[in-house]
Chains A and B, each alone.
Chain A
Amino acid sequence: MNRPHRGAAGSRGLGTMEVKSKFGAEFRRFSLERSKPGKFEEFYGLLQHVHKIPNVDVLVGYTDIHGDLLPINNDDNYHKAVSTANPLLRIFIQRKEDADYSAFGTDTMTRKKNVLSNVLRPDNHKKKPHIVISMPQDFRPVSSIIDVDILPETHRRVRLYKYGTDKPLGFYIRDGSSVRVTPHGLEKVPGIFISRLVPGGLAQSTGLLAVNDEVLEVNGIEVSGKSLDQVTDMMIANSRNLIITVRPANQRNNVVRNSRTSGSSGQSTESSLPSSTPNILANFLQGEEESDEEDIIIEDSGEPQQIPKAAPTSESLESLTQIELLHESTQNGFLPSSEMNLNHSAGSISMEYEIQDPDHKSLEEDGTIITL
């Protein structure tokens, strides 16, 4: 608990601070005035200078006292890095184009260097999950609107990134009824609605969900015909990567498409939507979900590690490189063949739902088109 304190006492008296910077395989050592660290841009220039890479865009990171690799990309975190450095400021530089964003975050360094963690972290943070901090130069995404191009304008598909934040998802759902257009005219059907947003929760802070929004899909699966409890269970089961399609109660803030797409082509996408969306979403999910679903194993009371995928060919890669490989591949939407099978089996069940949908829905759509 009092480690930062002790550290400060040990090094504050000295005017200079040692910096050890690593780019590729090369190290540079230099020192900085601790009391006058300057601005981040100056520091960035200095680093480019000492590594002799004046025109290369790089990402700058440092190891903090917990052994985590954290980014330096503005004055604030630069000053934080300087003030907490004890006694040495370790800098890691990566080329922007081949940067591995997943390398940033908690436990990232400990996985590489257990020695470091043994020195710095004798406390029991064993089960702390691996957190990915993405895009150091951007803000970490907490939510996004996705699939705007394929959804009807009245719908909104919101993705909540619970992963990596401490914020609770923070919303409640309830039963209700909504009016649907059917071939037989207007019909009142039961539906699921958002009933409450917890102040300060992820759902509220995004501003993308509101009370009385009707929930239409959870991670690509329609909720119609499912009970409140079922939908609750589905949302919780998907809580680490929750994608909800809603019909917002307030329809005035809808994303307005530009006039060209809202023409005939826009309509055609709309009419083909019900059959195509789940597929698209399913594909989209397959790439994403694996990366955030890693279970953790502790072997013989050692360090917590992510459980790797069983590779079909048992290459004797180190577990770390295997994980990193996996990360890259999943992010590119490219999957090793063993996973392909797996995803296929998972995806196939969602397809059972799809099978019923196309005729049913397309009938509906045909009906509206005829009346138009």
Chain B
Amino acid sequence: MRRFLRPGHDPVRERLKRDLFQFNKTVEHGFPHQPSALGYSPFLRLMAIGTRSGAIKLYGAPGVEFMGLHEENNTVMQIHFIPDQCQLVTLLDDNSLHLWSLKQHSGASELREEHRFTLKGPPGSPPSATQITAVLPHSSREVLYLGTESGNIFVVELPSFRALEDRTITSEAVLQRVPEDYCNRRSCELVEALREHPKNPDQILIGYSRGLIVLWDLQNNKATHHFLGSQQLENLYWQRDGSKFISCHYDGSYTQWPVSSDNRQPEPLENIVPYGPFPCKAISKIYWQTTKNGLPYIVFQGGMPRASYGDRHSISVVHGSQQTAFDFTSRVIDFFIIFSSEPTAEFDDPSAMVVLAEEELVVIDLKTAGWPAVHPPYLASLHCSAITCSHHVSNIPLKLWERIISAGSKQNIHYSNMPWPIDGGTNIAPDPPQRDLLLTGHEDGTVRFWDASGVCLHLLYKLSTVRVFLTDADPNDNMNTLGEDEWPPLRKVGTFDPYSDDPRLGIQKIYLCKYSGYLAVAGTAGQVLVMELNDEDAEHVVDHAEADLLQDQEGYRWKGHEKLKTRDGPVRFEAGFQPFVLVQCQPPAVVTSLALHSEWKLVAFGTSHGFGLFDHQQKRLVFVKCTLHPSDQLALEGPLSRVKSLKKSLRQSFRRIRRSRVSSRKRRGGSGNASEVQEANAKFDQDALQEMELAPVQRKIEARSAEDSFTGFVRTLYFADTFLRDSSRHCPSLWAGTNGGTVYAFCLRVPPAERRMDEPVRAEQAKEIQLMHRAPVVGILVLDGRSTPLPEPLEVAHDLSKSPDMQGSHQLLVVSEEQFKVFTLPKVSSKLKLKLTALEGCRVRKVTVANFGSCKTDDYSENDLAVLTNLGDIQIISLPFLKLQIRYPCIRKEDVSGIASCVFTKYGQGFYLISPSEFERFSLSTKWLVEPRCVVDMPEVTSNNHVHNKSGMENAVRKSRSSGDYGEDERKSGRLMEHALLNDEKVLKEIQSTLEGGR
């Protein structure tokens, strides 16, 4: 009777499912996409970054992170922390102001939006009258001064955002006592800068865009000083003692002004064009920092000679005779300087400069000679070279972990030793349950090793495969070869470098064995490198082998890229993973699948032409198998034809744009004749309509056939010790699945350890399964007698897994894009199947076995399949009965690159790219949840520094207390956030390139 019960109605199972599965998006790793604003609170020691999609992110000490999202998804223009408060104000490009505050809720702080406000002018006034250009949160914490385009300064009360109309500082009032001739020339000006006097809170400095600067007395409501600047103003900065201020200008100059009670209209002290005498770009922001030794630090953004260095994104630091222009690889959004914020301190004594560039965060240590960069513990630029693939390894043994860290620390010697200067808040999240590594492969041939255990994705070690090959770029070509007397004194900083020397270097597949330290890396030009971890530098020759995957086929010409040229002779490798063998696939097509068996010392690799097995102990090719259908010309020719079509479509879209521009120009230039405009309009619409009718979106319905293109494309490779031939003897085997729904199984004979070097490894094809639905095979798995997936190589040897059950009969699970099928072994007969596409219209994109533990009892856990579909849904499917357990929407289905980048962990977590530079971390498990949990306390106002330390200690105590009763409800409070990325052209391009890479 059981079979008539509907599944999913077993109450016991339903309860268990609640204890096992739960979906949360927990934290975003990496660097925010399209940052647009930066703010810093010296009081909280927190930094805030706003983005073009309306996100706001706060960062403090490692692990202290907050996220918020403006409902409007508008660009964040400015961020200002309210002095001495856990509050901040953001200004969006729709001219709305938002007040956010950090409030403690059940033991942890949360970022919440409290109020929103849009400034309203008098009725009938133009919108520019209230367009906010400058924001000054007053130190009284009661009011906000808002400079506008009209030149008026409005005052609003905090936190209510009530406009105090009687306190408005109108431009008329300001201009009252300005000399007539100066005043006439410059009537309508926008407020460029508002700065409060450092000592006297009743005085604010107002800078107007055309050069006029006024010191305004708030008590008496009148201007006390007028500074008649002659250049267009960019920004202002007070000196610490309030006796002088500095203004910077559009022409690349800065000017010092004295403030004294005797002269109400002083002349500038000095006017300097630092990179003159030729015309310079604007200096958009400037800092003047005093030090004990008397020599100030002058830090300014921009000001480069317009003609020769106008394209540089620079920030210059001048300290006495030292001067460096830090040269960033992407546009500088904003920067700030961390200096002594104690009001009693006599000098600024700057310690660090924090620069937010468009693609990365750079922190410069200003205390150490040479001004080295500080290695950021978070906000890593994942995309410093575009990510081409990812690989996650859970539960790294301590030994390997330490060796990787030590290899990485040798690479980081040029970084400053300064502790991370932005250290506000306290991380109270429990320690990560295990050590996890996320490996990202990049377009430039590097593999980055990230500590993915906790909230901060931190770079541990960077591996480059470039040294094995001869590339056009000379590796000795130093970026900083500028001579001593080079002017301007530019110095490249940051790691963001999107330009790849050679796209063939791109990493496509990574496989790391965490027990043995063997690493296999495969790339775009058919290169497969096997590496070993070495704690010392070494110089050695990399062995080469060729794998001709087209052995039996003749008369074909590969029209794709050539293989990479290798370096002859020994190559020097730094400590870390050092390649010892290179297997080159022929034709040199993209490596599409990779598997490594560290116990048998075998590596398997596959391309669109076939697959091969290499014995990396004896350094001998064991066999190759061509999977190519003889008529598949497309796969043979390589990616060329596809590129062509892409070019064509790009050209077409450019044409379309041009056409629409032409017609719109026609419309505008229509000499005001309404009918003509209308006609042009109608014609344009008609054209557009025609274009649509010519190419309606339609899909071909056709059964897959063996003759389809790319059926030979090897999608998955899998090593298993199982019963392939008969049920009495098990043997090593290699399984391969192709795009055309074929599964090959090879029986391997690996000599015993004592004769491993003497006897060759032998392989013999034992089985070939053709799935009749011919969908691409994306996963192969063998389940042991207890229906548990076979352990990883060496897992049992390291006592980390029960040895597999070799008594009961094994089962083979084949996952295609459309179906899940279980077969018996050794005699292949079909046992179970679950159809996905036929019933739901979605296809499997990613699949992995994940272990789910119950949050209620420690002793229960089970293995299930975690599946991501092409619609962006995640499904959990039970093993071995293939029953759908639960389904969560995760990624928008339009986000093709997000879906393509998704990687699951072995314990029910996952990562996917929400932008080229950010991973979203999600969790399917109730047990393993890594999310930020932190507290920001209000330090007492009087003596900041001491209190700061004290509160840290208190928090540490609280941490130990609260980690015990870490309730379920609190975990649920994970914020869900996703950005509207697809509207962005750049992202679309990224997707395009990912698709290209995926081929």
- Name A's B-contacting residues (CB within 8 A): 127, 129, 162, 168-175, 195-196, 203, 219, 221, 226-240, 292-301, 304, 307-311, 340-342, 344-346, 348-351
State whether B701 touches A172 (Cβ < 8 A): yes
Instruction: Tell me the smallest distance from the CB of A318 to a CB of chain B, in Å.
Output: 13
| B838, closest chain A residue (CB) | A237
Say whether, besides A169-B702, A226-B841, A240-B773, A195 and B830 are in contact (CB < 8 Å): no
Contact with A along B840-865 (1 / 0, CB 8 A): 11110000000000000000000000
Instruction: Tell me the smallest distance from the CB of B886 to a CB of chain A, in Å.
Output: 13
* CA of A129 to CA of B7, assembled, Å: 35
Say whether, besides A127-B706, A172-B701, A237 and B775 are in contact (CB < 8 Å): yes
Say whether, besides A174-B698, A230-B871, A237-B837, A345 and B770 are in contact (CB < 8 Å): no
B644 contacts the other chain (Cβ, under 8 Å)? no
* CA of A81 to CA of B870, assembled, Å: 51
B561 contacts the other chain (Cβ, under 8 Å)? no
Q: Which of A240, A309, A349 has the most CB of B within 10 A?
A: A349
State whether B843 touches A233 (Cβ < 8 A): yes
* CA of A346 to CA of B698, assembled, Å: 30
* CA of A162 to CA of B774, assembled, Å: 14
B6 contacts the other chain (Cβ, under 8 Å)? yes
B749 contacts the other chain (Cβ, under 8 Å)? no
24 contacts between A and B (CB under 8 A): A162-B703, A168-B702, A169-B702, A171-B700, A172-B699, A172-B700, A172-B701, A173-B699, A174-B699, A195-B696, A196-B698, A228-B699, A230-B841, A233-B818, A233-B870, A236-B703, A237-B775, A293-B773, A295-B771, A298-B767, A300-B725, A308-B829, A309-B830, A349-B835
State whether A346 touches B835 (Cβ < 8 A): yes
* CA of A123 to CA of B272, assembled, Å: 88
Chain A residue contacts of B819, Cβ below 8 A: 237
- Name B's A-contacting residues (CB within 8 A): 3-4, 6-7, 696-704, 706, 725, 765-773, 775, 818-819, 821, 823-824, 828-835, 837-843, 870-871, 881-884, 893
* CA of A239 to CA of B775, assembled, Å: 12
* CA of A171 to CA of B702, assembled, Å: 8
The listed residue (A129, A233, A346) touching B841 by CB distance below 8 A is A233
* CA of A203 to CA of B702, assembled, Å: 11
* CA of A233 to CA of B837, assembled, Å: 6
State whether B702 touches A309 (Cβ < 8 A): no
* CA of A235 to CA of B840, assembled, Å: 11
State whether B829 touches A310 (Cβ < 8 A): yes
State whether A307 touches B699 (Cβ < 8 A): no
Instruction: Tell me the smallest distance from the CB of B985 to a CB of chain A, in Å.
Output: 23
State whether B832 touches A195 (Cβ < 8 A): no
* CA of A240 to CA of B772, assembled, Å: 9
| B773, closest chain A residue (CB) | A237
* CA of A310 to CA of B834, assembled, Å: 16
State whether B701 touches A230 (Cβ < 8 A): no
* CA of A155 to CA of B769, assembled, Å: 40
* CA of A338 to CA of B696, assembled, Å: 46
State whether B842 touches A345 (Cβ < 8 A): no
Instruction: Tell me the smallest distance from the CB of A241 to a CB of chain B, in Å.
Output: 10
State whether B770 touches A296 (Cβ < 8 A): yes
State whether A229 touches B699 (Cβ < 8 A): yes
Chain B residue contacts of A226, Cβ below 8 A: 841
State whether A129 touches B702 (Cβ < 8 A): no
State whether A219 touches B769 (Cβ < 8 A): no
* CA of A297 to CA of B3, assembled, Å: 30
Say whether, besides A295-B830, A308-B829, A351-B6, A234 and B772 are in contact (CB < 8 Å): no
Chain B residue contacts of A311, Cβ below 8 A: 829
State whether A342 touches B833 (Cβ < 8 A): yes
The listed residue (B6, B697, B703) touching A228 by CB distance below 8 A is B697
State whether A172 touches B830 (Cβ < 8 A): no
Chain A residue contacts of B831, Cβ below 8 A: 309-310
Instruction: Tell me the smallest distance from the CB of A371 to a CB of chain B, in Å.
Output: 34
* CA of A170 to CA of B701, assembled, Å: 7
* CA of A348 to CA of B882, assembled, Å: 12
Chain B residue contacts of A341, Cβ below 8 A: 3
A-B pair count, CB < 8 Å, reads 151
Chain B residue contacts of A170, Cβ below 8 A: 702
State whether A239 touches B833 (Cβ < 8 A): no
Chain B residue contacts of A229, Cβ below 8 A: 699, 841, 870
| A234, closest chain B residue (CB) | B841
State whether B824 touches A310 (Cβ < 8 A): yes
Chain A residue contacts of B828, Cβ below 8 A: 297, 299, 307
Say whether, besides A228-B697, A236-B704, A307-B828, A345 and B772 are in contact (CB < 8 Å): no
Say whether, besides A237-B818, A237-B835, A293-B772, A232 and B696 are in contact (CB < 8 Å): no
Instruction: Tell me the smallest distance from the CB of A141 to a CB of chain B, in Å.
Output: 17
Instruction: Tell me the smallest distance from the CB of A263 to a CB of chain B, in Å.
Output: 35
Chain A residue contacts of B837, Cβ below 8 A: 233-234, 236-237
Chain A residue contacts of B883, Cβ below 8 A: 345
Chain A residue contacts of B772, Cβ below 8 A: 129, 240, 292-296
* CA of A160 to CA of B770, assembled, Å: 23
Chain A residue contacts of B765, Cβ below 8 A: 300-301
* CA of A301 to CA of B833, assembled, Å: 26
State whether A295 touches B770 (Cβ < 8 A): yes
State whether B838 touches A345 (Cβ < 8 A): no
The listed residue (A195, A221, A235, A307) touching B823 by CB distance below 8 A is A307
The listed residue (A233, A297, A308, A351) touching B769 by CB distance below 8 A is A297
State whether B701 touches A307 (Cβ < 8 A): no
Say whether, besides A221-B839, A300-B766, A345 and B832 are in contact (CB < 8 Å): yes
State whether B697 touches A175 (Cβ < 8 A): yes
Would you list the 7 A-B pairs with minimal beta carbon distance, nearest first?
Answer: A230-B841, A239-B703, A237-B837, A232-B699, A237-B838, A310-B829, A298-B768
* CA of A284 to CA of B830, assembled, Å: 21
Say whether, besides A236-B701, A237-B837, A350-B839, A174 and B696 are in contact (CB < 8 Å): yes
Chain A residue contacts of B706, Cβ below 8 A: 127
The listed residue (B4, B7, B696, B703) touching A345 by CB distance below 8 A is B7
| A170, closest chain B residue (CB) | B702
* CA of A236 to CA of B824, assembled, Å: 27
* CA of A369 to CA of B884, assembled, Å: 38
* CA of A311 to CA of B871, assembled, Å: 36
Q: Which of B768, B771, B831 has the most CB of A within 10 A?
A: B768
* CA of A308 to CA of B775, assembled, Å: 20
State whether B838 touches A219 (Cβ < 8 A): yes
Say whether, besides A345-B834, A348-B6, A169 and B701 are in contact (CB < 8 Å): yes
State whether A297 touches B834 (Cβ < 8 A): no
| Known A162-B703, A304-B770; 12 more pairs at CB < 8 Å | A203-B701, A226-B841, A227-B841, A232-B699, A233-B870, A293-B773, A298-B769, A310-B823, A310-B829, A346-B834, A349-B835, A349-B839
State whether B767 touches A297 (Cβ < 8 A): yes
Chain B residue contacts of A345, Cβ below 8 A: 7, 832, 834, 881-883
State whether B701 touches A171 (Cβ < 8 A): yes
State whether A310 touches B838 (Cβ < 8 A): no
Chain B residue contacts of A237, Cβ below 8 A: 773, 775, 818-819, 835, 837-838
* CA of A237 to CA of B816, assembled, Å: 11
Instruction: Tell me the smallest distance from the CB of B950 to a CB of chain A, in Å.
Output: 58
* CA of A307 to CA of B767, assembled, Å: 12
Chain B residue contacts of A169, Cβ below 8 A: 701-703
| B772, closest chain A residue (CB) | A295
* CA of A39 to CA of B844, assembled, Å: 56
Chain A residue contacts of B773, Cβ below 8 A: 237, 240, 293
Instruction: Tell me the smallest distance from the CB of B837 to a CB of chain A, in Å.
Output: 4
Chain B residue contacts of A235, Cβ below 8 A: 701
Instruction: Tell me the smallest distance from the CB of A139 to a CB of chain B, in Å.
Output: 21
* CA of A106 to CA of B88, assembled, Å: 77
* CA of A235 to CA of B701, assembled, Å: 7
| B765, closest chain A residue (CB) | A301
Instruction: Tell me the smallest distance from the CB of B820 to a CB of chain A, in Å.
Output: 11
* CA of A253 to CA of B987, assembled, Å: 50
The listed residue (A127, A233, A293) touching B770 by CB distance below 8 A is A127
Say whether, besides A237-B775, A345-B883, A231 and B841 are in contact (CB < 8 Å): yes
